[in-house]
Amino acid sequence: MALEFSRFWLVWRSGGSAPTYKHFSKDKAEKEAGRLALKEPGAVFFVVKAVSGFHADIPPINTVKLIKADEIPF
């Protein structure tokens, strides 16, 4: 089953922590990067576009059949 997500952009400050907010338009992300740049002169902010995503299915849990022990300790 394919998962679907909306396209999004992030604003990342060089040397900063990981972005936490998704912008759903490039224009809004660029405006936010500009706002942050004015707030922190000298800092560099990048607008980053998500270009792909990956997902792995959770492996199934299988039942194990238990049998009567044969008295061998190993």
The first and second tokens of residue 19, run together, are 């972005």
Model confidence, pTM: 0.71
Can you give the residue ranges of every domain in the chain?
A: 1-74
The 10 Å Cβ neighbour count of residue 45 is 20
Give the percent of the chain with pLDDT over 70: 96
Q: Can you give the pLDDT at residue 1?
A: 61
Q: Can you give the pLDDT at residue 9?
A: 98
3 with 55: CB under 8 angstroms? yes
DSSP output for 43-60:
--EEEEE-------PPPP
